[in-house]
């Protein structure tokens, strides 16, 4: 029976928070924290779904799930969302419409309705996902899940096989487009940035209304990611910046322009020939400092975020908020010359404040597939430590 692991990273905003709302450039990168999925066929015509991170364990008869007829543009997604299908699936899943687990289940079954082939329909499949990404922290956990779903269903149903004639770039695009559909199910009107970063990996630059472009020459960087555990209120922070902008446009617009130039300067750093890594990291750290200062001036920092900066700066490290601010997460750049002892001390000091710290990287690979040589069980999959998947070799990435 076909069995596959799929994997995809979360994302962080490196530069450009809030300014992107006003048409400025922002920069985002893939996180070393990832989601991992198992998908494999079974022989009882059931879909067995287990998502422990959102407390979902359900089973459905595969023939009870609505299925879509072939559409124009197949196998790429239809141009518009099928709202009738969404209503059917919401009723079918019967978990309410606004919970993390109901949205995760509906997103899976929405893609299933389009992508499941006759061969899979007569068998059924297991689908299990585990994630290292905290839910609701602004780190692209839903996009990472969506990319895992899209990759898994496309692989299981043969859309990514060599016989389909798609090169790697076309496979990557197919995964990204279907992941975007799943993100629409979950969020309604997402930007597409999160699923693109999760699919492609590396780093991207983006401007509202324009094509998302990879950041050329980007090198993987080490960070300490700190979750302050202060709930984010993205809409509140965006609204507060809007009020400040409307009140003092001649003051705020130059600040937004400066944030725009930080992303452009980041691009210049990585495209500059002959710049050794030590100088690259030093200049990147300076941009981290400046970007946070501008965001704080816009009023979107928080005492918890300033505490992260205070603690890390005492040990010579640069930190900034990532995302909407007002709480949420902070990134601390770990240069190559920073000792492991220093990182341990910083983590201890931050955790003493009640924060959650995770060492990770930014700019690693995107979506991946691992073909299993023999079937496993849901219990075996769940029994593995998450580090097991990170250490597993022979992942095939869309690069």
Q: Distance (Å, rounded) from C-alpha 171 to C-alpha 183?
A: 18
Beta strands in the chain (DSSP E): 3-15, 26-41, 46-51, 56-61, 124-131, 203-206, 213-214, 221-227, 319-322, 329-334, 356-362, 368-371, 396-397
Contact (CB, 8 A) for 144 and 8: yes
Q: Distance (Å, rounded) from C-alpha 116 to C-alpha 45?
A: 12
Q: From the candidates 7, 35, 131, 142, give the one annotated as an active-site residue.
A: 142
337 among known catalytic residues: no
Q: Distance (Å, rounded) from C-alpha 281 to C-alpha 188?
A: 38
List the Cα angle 265/271/277 in 5-degree steps.
Answer: 90
Other Cβ atoms closer than 10 A to 167 = 8
Q: From the candidates 3, 194, 301, 319, give the one annotated as an active-site residue.
A: 194
Question: CB within 8 A of 249, min separation 6: which ones?
Answer: none
Contact (CB, 8 A) for 37 and 52: no
Q: How many helices (H) and strands (E) does the chain have?
A: 13, 13
194 among known catalytic residues: yes
Residue 71: HSE in the Cβ half-sphere, 13 Å Cα cutoff: 14
| Crossing angle between the packed helical segments 141-156 and 168-187, to the nearest 10 degrees | 130
Contact (CB, 8 A) for 114 and 36: no
Is 95 exposed, middle or buried (CB count within 10 Å of its CB: 0-12, 13-18, 19+)?
Answer: middle
Q: Distance (Å, rounded) from C-alpha 103 to C-alpha 100?
A: 5
Write out the catalytic residue numbers.
142, 194
């Amino acid at each position: 029976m076909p069995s596959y692991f799929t994997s995809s990273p979360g994302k962080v905003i490196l530069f450009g928070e809030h300014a992107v709302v006003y048409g400025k450039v922002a920069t985002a990168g893939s996180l070393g924290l990832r989601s991992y999925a198992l998908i494999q066929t079974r022989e009882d015509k059931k879909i067995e779904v287990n998502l422990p991170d959102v407390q979902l364990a359900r089973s459905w008869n595969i023939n009870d799930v609505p299925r879509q007829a072939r559409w124009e543009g197949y196998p790429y997604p239809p141009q518009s969302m099928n709202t009738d299908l969404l209503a059917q699936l919401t009723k079918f899943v019967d978990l309410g419409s606004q919970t993390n687990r109901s949205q995760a289940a509906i997103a899976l079954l929405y893609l299933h309705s389009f992508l499941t082939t006759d061969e899979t329909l007569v068998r059924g499949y297991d689908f299990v996902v585990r994630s290292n990404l905290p839910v609701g922290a602004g780190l692209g956990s839903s996009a990472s899940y969506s990319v895992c779903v899209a990759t898994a269903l496309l692989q299981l149903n043969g859309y990514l096989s060599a016989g389909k004639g798609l090169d790697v770039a076309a496979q990557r695009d197919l995964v990204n487009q279907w992941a975007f559909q799943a993100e629409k199910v979950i969020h309604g009107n997402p930007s597409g940035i999160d699923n693109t970063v999760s699919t492609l990996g590396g780093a991207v630059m983006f401007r509202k209304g324009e094509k998302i472009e990879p950041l050329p020459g980007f090198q993987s960087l080490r960070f300490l990611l700190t979750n302050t555990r202060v709930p984010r209120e993205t809409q509140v922070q965006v609204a507060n910046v809007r009020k400040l902008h409307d009140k003092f446009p001649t003051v705020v617009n130059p600040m937004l322009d400066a944030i725009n130039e930080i992303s452009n300067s980041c691009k210049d750093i990585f495209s500059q020939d002959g710049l050794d890594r030590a100088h690259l990291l030093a200049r990147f750290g300076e941009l981290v400092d400046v970007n946070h200062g501008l965001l704080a001036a816009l009023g979107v920092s928080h005492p918890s975020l300033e505490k992260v900066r205070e603690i890390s700066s005492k040990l010579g490290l640069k930190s900034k908020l990532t995302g909407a601010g007002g709480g949420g997460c902070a990134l601390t750049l770990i240069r190559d010359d920073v000792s492991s002892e220093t990182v341990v001390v910083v983590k201890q000091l931050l955790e003493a404040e009640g924060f959650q710290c995770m060492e990770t990287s930014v700019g690693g690979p995107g979506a991946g597939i691992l073909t299993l040589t023999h079937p496993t069980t849901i219990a075996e999959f769940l029994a593995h430590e998450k580090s097991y998947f990170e250490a597993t070799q022979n992942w095939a990435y869309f690069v």
